[in-house]
Amino acid sequence: MDEMKKFRQCLGKFTTGVTIVTCTASDGERCGITANSFSSVSLEPPLILWNIAKVSRSMQAYLDATHFAVNILSAGQQALSNRFARSEANLFDGVEHLVSADGVPLIPDTLACLECRTAQIHDCGDHYIIIGEVERFHASEAEPLVFSNGSYAALAR
């Protein structure tokens, strides 16, 4: 096994939640991508970050977007996570969603949603780090969708 694959497996030991980050491209295409590379950065001002691979089909849409949303998935949304993990066009076809005041697709019934204005973008290795200033957010009491060791997992209660 090569070192990059070993490194990826090592990183997979860190259990995370699962998000779908959404934006609207300049041509009006609705974009969504499953990401677990999400983190809080600051409470004041309210900042978050996520990472997008430079090989992502929708990378340019996210780099150009003035606004995006981080939809944190609940336990019952595994099928959505799998759908948006694919690198295809028209992923929103047939998917229920709302549209924010900034024109960003929002996924209903998520654990939480953070609507952000793009604040900074950093070129870093084979990814870009996108920092967003949170403008609006909401959260529910649902159970989270959790990812660990390369597969979905349930939280022990």
pLDDT tens-digit series, residues 31-42: 999 999 999 999
- C-beta separation of 143 from 136 below 8 A: no
Question: Residue 90: its pLDDT value, please?
Answer: 83
pLDDT at 97 over 80: yes
User: Quick check: helix, strand or coil at residue 88?
Assistant: coil
Q: What is the structure's pLDDT at 134?
A: 98
Mean pLDDT for the stretch of residues 93-99: 94
| Cα–Cα distance for residue pair 148/157, rounded to 1 Å | 17
- Cα 58 from Cα 75, distance rounded (Å): 26
pLDDT digits (tens, 9 = 90+) for 129-145: 999 999 999 999 999 99
88: confidence class by pLDDT, cuts 50, 70, 90: confident
Q: For residue 157, what pLDDT is reported?
A: 67
Q: Average pLDDT in the 101-112 region? A: 97
Instruction: State the chain's mean pLDDT as an integer.
Output: 94
Predicted confidence (pLDDT) at residue 46 exceeds the cutoff of 90: yes
Question: Residue 26's pLDDT is what?
Answer: 95
Cis before 46 (ω within 30): no
Predicted confidence at residue 34, as pLDDT, reads 97
Which range (5-14, 15-24, 78-87, 126-135) has the least confidence? 5-14
pLDDT level of residue 77 (50, 70, 90 thresholds): very high
**Rounded Cα–Cα distance for residues 141 and 18 (Å):** 16
